[in-house]
Amino acid sequence: MSPTTLALLFLAGLVGGFIDAIAGGGGLITVPALLAVGLPPQIALGTNKFQSSCGTIIAVTRYLRAGMMKTPWLWVAVICSFLASMAGVHVLSIISNDTLKKIIPWMLAAVAIYTALNPKFGIHQGLRKFPLIAFALIFGCILGFYDGFFGPGTGSFWTVACVALLGLDLRHATGYTKAVNLASNLGALVIFIFMHSVNYTAGAAMIAGQLIGAQLGSGLVIKHGAKFIRPVFLCVVFALTAKLIWNGFHQ
Protein backbone atom coordinates (compact mmCIF):
# COMPACT_ATOMS: atom_id res chain seq x y z
CA MET A 1 0.00 0.00 0.00
CA SER A 2 1.19 3.53 -0.81
CA PRO A 3 2.06 6.06 1.94
CA THR A 4 -0.99 8.12 0.91
CA THR A 5 -3.31 5.14 1.33
CA LEU A 6 -1.83 4.34 4.74
CA ALA A 7 -2.19 7.98 5.81
CA LEU A 8 -5.88 7.97 4.83
CA LEU A 9 -6.42 4.73 6.75
CA PHE A 10 -4.70 6.31 9.76
CA LEU A 11 -7.13 9.24 9.65
CA ALA A 12 -10.10 6.90 9.24
CA GLY A 13 -8.91 4.94 12.26
CA LEU A 14 -8.54 8.12 14.31
CA VAL A 15 -12.05 9.38 13.53
CA GLY A 16 -13.57 5.91 13.88
CA GLY A 17 -11.86 5.33 17.23
CA PHE A 18 -13.05 8.71 18.51
CA ILE A 19 -16.69 8.02 17.58
CA ASP A 20 -16.55 4.41 18.73
CA ALA A 21 -15.29 5.31 22.19
CA ILE A 22 -18.20 7.72 22.71
CA ALA A 23 -21.24 6.06 21.18
CA GLY A 24 -20.15 3.14 19.01
CA GLY A 25 -20.61 3.19 15.26
CA GLY A 26 -17.00 3.82 14.30
CA GLY A 27 -17.44 1.22 11.58
CA LEU A 28 -19.42 3.87 9.67
CA ILE A 29 -16.02 5.41 8.95
CA THR A 30 -13.60 2.50 9.01
CA VAL A 31 -15.38 -0.16 6.94
CA PRO A 32 -16.06 2.15 3.93
CA ALA A 33 -12.43 3.32 4.16
CA LEU A 34 -11.15 -0.25 3.98
CA LEU A 35 -13.45 -1.03 1.05
CA ALA A 36 -12.39 2.20 -0.69
CA VAL A 37 -8.72 1.15 -0.73
CA GLY A 38 -9.69 -2.02 -2.59
CA LEU A 39 -9.97 -4.71 0.09
CA PRO A 40 -12.52 -7.49 -0.55
CA PRO A 41 -15.57 -7.29 1.76
CA GLN A 42 -14.64 -10.26 3.97
CA ILE A 43 -11.06 -9.03 4.46
CA ALA A 44 -12.35 -5.49 5.09
CA LEU A 45 -14.62 -6.83 7.86
CA GLY A 46 -11.84 -8.92 9.39
CA THR A 47 -9.39 -6.02 9.27
CA ASN A 48 -11.99 -3.74 10.81
CA LYS A 49 -12.42 -6.12 13.76
CA PHE A 50 -8.63 -6.21 14.13
CA GLN A 51 -8.15 -2.45 14.26
CA SER A 52 -11.32 -1.63 16.22
CA SER A 53 -10.40 -4.16 18.93
CA CYS A 54 -7.21 -2.24 19.66
CA GLY A 55 -9.04 1.08 19.99
CA THR A 56 -11.71 -0.50 22.16
CA ILE A 57 -9.04 -1.88 24.52
CA ILE A 58 -7.89 1.71 25.17
CA ALA A 59 -11.46 2.88 25.86
CA VAL A 60 -12.25 -0.11 28.09
CA THR A 61 -9.06 0.43 30.11
CA ARG A 62 -9.92 4.08 30.73
CA TYR A 63 -13.55 3.33 31.58
CA LEU A 64 -12.46 0.59 33.97
CA ARG A 65 -10.14 2.97 35.81
CA ALA A 66 -12.96 5.56 35.97
CA GLY A 67 -15.24 3.06 37.74
CA MET A 68 -17.69 2.73 34.84
CA MET A 69 -17.73 -1.08 34.80
CA LYS A 70 -18.88 -2.02 38.30
CA THR A 71 -22.12 -3.65 37.12
CA PRO A 72 -22.40 -7.14 38.71
CA TRP A 73 -22.34 -10.10 36.31
CA LEU A 74 -20.80 -8.03 33.52
CA TRP A 75 -18.17 -10.75 33.15
CA VAL A 76 -20.93 -13.22 32.19
CA ALA A 77 -22.06 -10.93 29.37
CA VAL A 78 -18.43 -10.60 28.25
CA ILE A 79 -17.91 -14.38 28.05
CA CYS A 80 -21.25 -14.98 26.31
CA SER A 81 -20.57 -12.18 23.84
CA PHE A 82 -17.11 -13.55 23.01
CA LEU A 83 -18.33 -17.09 22.35
CA ALA A 84 -21.54 -16.07 20.56
CA SER A 85 -19.70 -13.75 18.18
CA MET A 86 -17.45 -16.65 17.12
CA ALA A 87 -20.59 -18.64 16.32
CA GLY A 88 -22.01 -15.66 14.43
CA VAL A 89 -18.98 -15.36 12.13
CA HIS A 90 -19.05 -19.11 11.51
CA VAL A 91 -22.74 -19.04 10.56
CA LEU A 92 -22.11 -15.98 8.35
CA SER A 93 -19.62 -18.04 6.34
CA ILE A 94 -22.36 -20.60 5.67
CA ILE A 95 -25.57 -18.63 5.08
CA SER A 96 -26.61 -15.19 3.80
CA ASN A 97 -27.56 -12.26 6.03
CA ASP A 98 -29.83 -10.64 3.43
CA THR A 99 -32.88 -10.73 5.73
CA LEU A 100 -31.05 -8.84 8.47
CA LYS A 101 -30.02 -6.18 5.95
CA LYS A 102 -33.71 -5.42 5.45
CA ILE A 103 -34.82 -5.59 9.10
CA ILE A 104 -32.01 -3.94 11.07
CA PRO A 105 -32.32 -0.38 9.63
CA TRP A 106 -35.88 -0.17 10.90
CA MET A 107 -34.88 -1.51 14.32
CA LEU A 108 -32.20 1.17 14.50
CA ALA A 109 -34.70 3.79 13.42
CA ALA A 110 -36.91 2.72 16.34
CA VAL A 111 -33.92 3.08 18.70
CA ALA A 112 -33.20 6.58 17.38
CA ILE A 113 -36.83 7.72 17.65
CA TYR A 114 -37.22 6.24 21.14
CA THR A 115 -34.07 8.04 22.32
CA ALA A 116 -34.96 11.33 20.65
CA LEU A 117 -38.47 11.36 22.16
CA ASN A 118 -37.13 10.74 25.67
CA PRO A 119 -35.01 13.80 26.51
CA LYS A 120 -34.04 12.37 29.92
CA PHE A 121 -32.97 9.04 28.40
CA GLY A 122 -29.85 7.89 30.27
CA ILE A 123 -29.22 11.25 31.93
CA HIS A 124 -29.80 9.75 35.40
CA GLN A 125 -29.88 6.20 36.72
CA GLY A 126 -33.31 4.57 36.60
CA LEU A 127 -34.98 1.47 37.99
CA ARG A 128 -33.69 -1.97 37.06
CA LYS A 129 -36.37 -3.94 35.18
CA PHE A 130 -34.38 -7.09 34.39
CA PRO A 131 -32.28 -9.46 36.55
CA LEU A 132 -28.58 -8.75 36.03
CA ILE A 133 -27.47 -12.33 35.38
CA ALA A 134 -30.40 -13.05 33.03
CA PHE A 135 -29.63 -9.85 31.14
CA ALA A 136 -25.96 -10.83 30.82
CA LEU A 137 -26.79 -14.32 29.56
CA ILE A 138 -29.59 -13.43 27.15
CA PHE A 139 -28.19 -10.26 25.62
CA GLY A 140 -24.62 -11.53 25.70
CA CYS A 141 -25.64 -14.48 23.52
CA ILE A 142 -28.06 -12.62 21.22
CA LEU A 143 -26.06 -9.43 20.61
CA GLY A 144 -22.73 -11.26 20.62
CA PHE A 145 -24.01 -13.57 17.87
CA TYR A 146 -25.46 -10.60 16.00
CA ASP A 147 -22.14 -8.74 16.13
CA GLY A 148 -20.33 -11.68 14.57
CA PHE A 149 -23.05 -12.42 12.01
CA PHE A 150 -23.89 -8.88 10.86
CA GLY A 151 -22.69 -6.20 13.27
CA PRO A 152 -24.02 -2.70 12.47
CA GLY A 153 -25.76 -1.11 15.44
CA THR A 154 -24.56 -3.63 18.06
CA GLY A 155 -23.29 -0.87 20.36
CA SER A 156 -26.54 1.08 19.98
CA PHE A 157 -28.64 -1.95 20.89
CA TRP A 158 -26.44 -2.63 23.93
CA THR A 159 -26.64 0.98 25.12
CA VAL A 160 -30.43 1.18 24.85
CA ALA A 161 -30.83 -2.20 26.57
CA CYS A 162 -28.54 -1.15 29.44
CA VAL A 163 -30.44 2.10 29.99
CA ALA A 164 -33.97 0.75 29.47
CA LEU A 165 -33.63 -2.59 31.27
CA LEU A 166 -30.83 -2.16 33.80
CA GLY A 167 -31.53 1.49 34.62
CA LEU A 168 -27.92 2.56 33.96
CA ASP A 169 -27.17 6.15 33.01
CA LEU A 170 -25.55 6.69 29.63
CA ARG A 171 -22.09 7.04 31.15
CA HIS A 172 -22.16 3.61 32.81
CA ALA A 173 -24.11 2.10 29.90
CA THR A 174 -21.24 3.17 27.64
CA GLY A 175 -18.77 1.39 29.93
CA TYR A 176 -20.87 -1.81 29.88
CA THR A 177 -21.27 -1.57 26.12
CA LYS A 178 -17.56 -1.13 25.44
CA ALA A 179 -16.69 -4.18 27.57
CA VAL A 180 -19.07 -6.52 25.73
CA ASN A 181 -18.22 -4.96 22.35
CA LEU A 182 -14.55 -5.69 22.95
CA ALA A 183 -15.42 -9.30 23.77
CA SER A 184 -17.50 -9.78 20.61
CA ASN A 185 -14.86 -8.04 18.48
CA LEU A 186 -12.15 -10.35 19.81
CA GLY A 187 -14.32 -13.45 19.39
CA ALA A 188 -15.09 -12.56 15.77
CA LEU A 189 -11.45 -11.63 15.17
CA VAL A 190 -10.30 -15.14 16.19
CA ILE A 191 -12.42 -16.62 13.41
CA PHE A 192 -11.41 -13.98 10.84
CA ILE A 193 -7.72 -14.69 11.59
CA PHE A 194 -8.35 -18.43 11.25
CA MET A 195 -9.97 -17.74 7.86
CA HIS A 196 -7.00 -15.53 6.80
CA SER A 197 -9.33 -12.55 6.42
CA VAL A 198 -7.19 -9.83 8.00
CA ASN A 199 -4.90 -7.37 6.17
CA TYR A 200 -2.32 -6.57 8.84
CA THR A 201 -0.70 -3.69 6.95
CA ALA A 202 -3.97 -1.78 6.61
CA GLY A 203 -4.91 -2.76 10.16
CA ALA A 204 -1.65 -1.44 11.61
CA ALA A 205 -2.13 1.95 9.95
CA MET A 206 -5.65 2.22 11.36
CA ILE A 207 -4.59 1.04 14.82
CA ALA A 208 -2.19 3.98 15.08
CA GLY A 209 -5.15 6.32 14.51
CA GLN A 210 -7.47 4.24 16.71
CA LEU A 211 -5.20 4.61 19.73
CA ILE A 212 -5.33 8.40 19.48
CA GLY A 213 -9.06 8.61 18.68
CA ALA A 214 -10.08 6.20 21.45
CA GLN A 215 -7.97 8.10 23.98
CA LEU A 216 -9.60 11.41 23.03
CA GLY A 217 -13.15 10.05 22.87
CA SER A 218 -13.03 8.14 26.14
CA GLY A 219 -11.54 11.18 27.87
CA LEU A 220 -14.50 13.31 26.81
CA VAL A 221 -16.99 10.67 28.00
CA ILE A 222 -15.33 10.44 31.43
CA LYS A 223 -15.19 14.23 31.74
CA HIS A 224 -18.63 15.25 30.43
CA GLY A 225 -20.81 12.15 30.94
CA ALA A 226 -24.35 11.53 29.69
CA LYS A 227 -25.12 15.03 28.41
CA PHE A 228 -22.20 14.72 25.99
CA ILE A 229 -22.87 11.10 25.00
CA ARG A 230 -26.56 11.59 24.13
CA PRO A 231 -26.23 13.90 21.07
CA VAL A 232 -23.32 11.89 19.68
CA PHE A 233 -25.25 8.66 20.22
CA LEU A 234 -28.27 10.05 18.37
CA CYS A 235 -26.16 11.30 15.47
CA VAL A 236 -24.45 7.92 15.12
CA VAL A 237 -27.71 5.95 15.22
CA PHE A 238 -29.43 8.22 12.69
CA ALA A 239 -26.38 8.12 10.39
CA LEU A 240 -26.12 4.34 10.64
CA THR A 241 -29.85 3.95 9.95
CA ALA A 242 -29.67 6.22 6.91
CA LYS A 243 -26.61 4.39 5.57
CA LEU A 244 -28.19 0.96 5.88
CA ILE A 245 -31.45 2.12 4.29
CA TRP A 246 -29.48 3.74 1.47
CA ASN A 247 -27.44 0.58 0.93
CA GLY A 248 -30.62 -1.48 0.74
CA PHE A 249 -32.22 0.96 -1.69
CA HIS A 250 -29.07 1.20 -3.81
CA GLN A 251 -28.77 -2.58 -4.07
pLDDT tens string 205-221: 999 999 999 999 999 99
- Domain extent, residue 151, equals 3-250
d(CA 136, CA 56): 20
**Structure confidence at residue 97 (pLDDT):** 65
What is the pTM (predicted TM-score) of this model? 0.86
Burial track 122-158 (b if 16+ CB lie within 10 A, e otherwise): bbebbeeebebeebbbbbbbebbbbbbbbbbbbbbbb
Vertex 234: Cα angle to 110 and 137 (nearest 5): 60
Q: Give burial (CB, 10 Å; 0-12/13-18/19+) of 72.
A: exposed
Q: Does the pLDDT value for residue 63 go beyond 80? A: yes
d(CA 112, CA 130): 22
Q: Per the structure, how many domains does the chain have?
A: 1
d(CA 21, CA 229): 10
Q: Does the pLDDT value for residue 111 go beyond 90? A: no
Q: Which residues make Cβ contacts (< 8 Å) with residue 114, sequence separation at least 6?
A: 121, 160
Q: What is the DSSP string of 128-150?
A: --S-HHHHHHHHHHHHHHHHHHT
pLDDT tens, position by position, 128-137: 889 999 999 9
Asked if residue 17 lies in contact with residue 55, where contact means CB atoms within 8 angstroms, the answer is yes
**Structure confidence at residue 251 (pLDDT):** 59
